């Protein structure tokens, strides 16, 4: 193929495999979005085949850096209880296990690439509702956590920060990285911010260890129990672009004042979109792109490597979800394309 001989179009790598597809049948989670994002990026001339790297599945040993042996054993032997399977909200199969091991391998590769290329985007991953010992909310394996622990194990990084902008709180991430070192409750520069909040959100500070977790999410949404992240921003229903971006700016600035990460793991959920079926925030497609640009500009300016995963996205029109995810790649190209 002539495309194989062309120079890459992006100054970073996209991590993707056809096998990212989750075999879950008819489901609100549009698993075909991964392939659609890849196809759109190529057909729109944003990327070509040379911009993509194919990941290998994570090994069981890598999965065990985050998950308990009992849980991994249940997954690999197909012995989840009916209740455990119900809680995961996706139908168990061996193929699904393989897809999640591959998602974790994709995030490991994205983390590794980001350390050399400044940024890398996995066209998948971001399964932030997976806990060490069980899965929840369409998530079996916490791929981002596996990638962080793998990079730490290799001593490629010492610390990491997760920035979770999915509309749902990153409960699995919060539990996995719950540290015992208290941090001061963040005092973000929200004095001016609050003035244009008719229904202010709320920022809470928790604790942290070697991984600092930030989650911006809709308060009145799954999960009901929100275990404390290092910073949680509980956003009110219907919050629009301007207020959202102000909260994001505050949370990120506050986090980076308290913590110096060797790697930023950006969970770029598409579900804060105002037409999302499982979300209740009011962001526009343009607002979501500005969100991505803000995160990338901060990371670029501070020289912090960024790995990106896609997480949720349940727009009424799946093409909108695809657009939002493609815009994340375009935003990265715009910010990291200039040195």
Query: What is the spatial distance between Cα 282 and Cα 142, in angstroms, rounded to a whole number?
Result: 27
- Nearer to Zn ion by Cβ, of 113 and 142: the residue is 142
Is the CB of 113 or the CB of 173 nearer to Zn ion?
A: 173
Query: Which residue is closest to Zn ion by CB?
Result: 312
Q: DSSP H helical segments within the chain, as ranges?
A: 33-43, 60-63, 69-77, 82-88, 94-117, 143-153, 171-176, 191-195, 241-258, 285-302, 318-336
Residue 185: CB minimum distance to Zn ion, A? 26
**Least Å distance between CB 338 and Zn ion?**
31
Cβ contact 66:146 at 8 Å: yes
Of the two residues 10 and 270, which places its CB atom closer to Zn ion in the complex? 270
Does position 129 interact with Zn ion (CB under 5 A)? The reply is: no
The minimum distance between CB 138 and Zn ion, in angstroms, equals: 8
Closest to Zn ion by CB, 228 or 312: 312
> Residue 186 or 269: which CB sits closer to Zn ion?
269
Question: Kindly report the CA angle at 148 between 20 and 97, in degrees rounded to 5?
Answer: 30
Interface segment toward Zn ion; rule CB under 5 A; list 21-29, 83-91, 282-290, 312-320: 312-320
- For Zn ion, the closer CB: 105 or 313: 313
Please report how the helices 241-258 and 285-302 are oriented relative to each other, as an axis angle in degrees rounded to 10. Answer: 20
Tokens 């349940």: give the residue: 314
Contact 172, 139 (CB under 8 A): yes
* Residue 269 C-beta: closest distance to Zn ion, Å: 5
Cβ nearer to Zn ion, comparing 166 with 292: 166
The C-alpha atoms of residue 43 and residue 292 are separated, in whole angstroms, by 22
Is residue 51 involved in binding Zn ion (CB under 5 A)? no
Token pair of 23, please?
A: 């075999």
Instruction: Assess 217 for contact with Zn ion (CB under 5 A).
Output: no
Q: What angle separates helix 318-336 from helix 33-43, to the nearest 10 degrees?
A: 50
Q: Which stretch binds Zn ion (CB under 5 A): 22-30, 281-289, 306-314, 316-324?
A: 306-314
- 234 interacts with Zn ion by CB under 5 A: no
Separation of CA 285 from chain center: 17
- 312 makes contact with Zn ion (CB under 5 A): yes
Could you tell me the smallest distance in angstroms from the CB atom of residue 126 to Zn ion? 9
CA gyration radius, the chain:
18
Q: Candidates 158-166, 195-203, 239-247, 256-264: pick the segment binding Zn ion (CB under 5 A).
A: 158-166
How open is the CA angle 284-196-311, to the nearest 5 degrees? 35
Binding mask 160-179 for Zn ion (x = CB under 5 A): ------x-x-----------
What is the length of the chain? 339
Angle among Cα 294, 261, 201 to the nearest 5 degrees reads: 50
- Pattern of binders to Zn ion over 258-297, x per CB under 5 A? -----------x-x--------------------------
- Contacts with Zn ion, residue ranges (CB under 5 A): 166, 168, 269, 271, 312
């Amino acid at each position: 193929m002539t495309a194989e001989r062309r120079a890459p179009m992006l100054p970073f790598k996209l991590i993707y495999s056809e096998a990212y597809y989750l075999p879950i049948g008819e489901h609100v989670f549009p698993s075909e979005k991964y392939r659609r994002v890849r196809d759109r990026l190529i057909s729109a001339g944003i990327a070509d085949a040379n911009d993509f790297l194919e990941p290998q599945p994570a090994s069981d040993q890598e999965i065990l850096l985050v998950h308990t042996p009992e849980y991994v054993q249940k997954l690999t032997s197909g012995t989840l209880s009916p209740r455990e399977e119900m809680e995961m909200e996706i139908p168990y199969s061996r193929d699904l296990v393989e897809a999640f091991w591959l998602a974790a391998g994709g995030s490991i590769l994205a983390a590794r690439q980001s350390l050399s290329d400044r940024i890398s985007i996995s066209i998948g991953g971001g399964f932030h509702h997976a806990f060490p010992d069980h899965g929840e909310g369409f998530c079996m394996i916490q791929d981002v956590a596996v990638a962080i622990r793998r990079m730490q194990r290799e001593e490629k990084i010492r610390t990491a920060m997760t920035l979770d902008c999915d509309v749902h709180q990153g409960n699995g991430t919060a539990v996995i990285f719950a540290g015992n070192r208290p941090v001061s409750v963040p005092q973000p520069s929200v004095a001016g911010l609050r003035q244009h909040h008719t229904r202010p959100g709320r920022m809470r500070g928790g604790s942290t260890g070697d991984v600092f977790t930030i989650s911006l999410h809709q308060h009145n949404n799954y999960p009901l129990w929100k275990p404390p992240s290092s910073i949680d921003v509980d956003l009110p229903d219907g919050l629009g672009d301007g207020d959202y971006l102000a909260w994001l700016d505050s949370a990120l600035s506050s986090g980076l004042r308290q913590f110096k990460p060797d790697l930023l793991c950006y969970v770029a959920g598409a579900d804060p979109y105002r037409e999302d079926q499982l979300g209740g925030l009011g962001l526009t497609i343009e607002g979501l792109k500005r969100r991505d640009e803000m995160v990338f500009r901060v990371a670029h300016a501070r020289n912090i490597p960024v790995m990106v995963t896609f997480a949720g996205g349940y727009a009424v029109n799946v093409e909108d979800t695809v657009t939002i995810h493609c815009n994340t790649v375009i935003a990265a190209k715009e910010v990291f394309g200039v040195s």
